[in-house]
């Protein structure tokens, strides 16, 4: 059995973000590459957004985007904005590995909580968050376009 070389890398440049785009596109289907790059750049500059990718044998197999937040509800916390594993690489533990990376980043940087939202249709993701990663379902997220 071959050993797969895994590496998590925080992505800090447009070239690195482009490497993550094909996997992120599977979650954020409404974004073309140009929109994706513009939004990531603005979020990094204005919101402290971080994007990290899990590479296996130098190929991106999973991506997460997260950002530090301070709110009265959660205090100092991390909001996981995006978490996706490539459809051809699901059920291999890559989502767990990346989410644990976020948990560790949170602890190392003085944030007490990690929160996320997940689309209502993503039943498998909900099972993963609740059963495997031991997240509690504590609220609904509401959205209104204005």
* Residue 1: predicted pLDDT: 52
* Residue 3: predicted pLDDT: 56
Helix (H) or strand (E) holding 105: helix 94-108
- The reported pTM is 0.90
d(CA 95, CA 14): 23
* Residue 67: predicted pLDDT: 97
d(CA 107, CA 112): 7
CB distance 49 to 66 below 8 Å: yes
Domain boundaries, the chain: 6-132
d(CA 77, CA 68): 6
Class of domain 6-132: alpha beta
Q: What is the largest CA-CA distance in the chain?
A: 54
Low-confidence ranges of the chain (pLDDT < 70): 1-4
Query: How many Cα neighbours within 13 Å face the side chain of 62?
Result: 23
């Amino acid at each position: 059995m071959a050993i797969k070389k895994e590496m998590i890398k925080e992505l800090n440049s447009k070239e690195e973000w482009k490497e993550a785009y094909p996997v992120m596109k599977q979650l954020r289907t409404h974004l073309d590459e140009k929109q994706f790059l513009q939004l990531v750049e603005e979020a990094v500059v204005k919101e402290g957004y971080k994007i990290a990718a899990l590479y296996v044998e130098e190929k991106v197999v999973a991506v997460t985007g997260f950002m530090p937040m301070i709110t009265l509800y959660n205090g100092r916390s991390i909001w996981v904005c995006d978490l996706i594993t490539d459809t051809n690489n699901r059920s291999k533990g890559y989502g767990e590995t990346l989410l644990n990376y976020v948990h560790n980043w949170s602890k190392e940087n003085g944030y007490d909580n990690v929160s996320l939202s997940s689309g209502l249709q993503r039943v498998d993701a909900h099972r993963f968050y609740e059963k495997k990663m031991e997240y509690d379902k504590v609220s609904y997220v509401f959205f209104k376009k204005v």
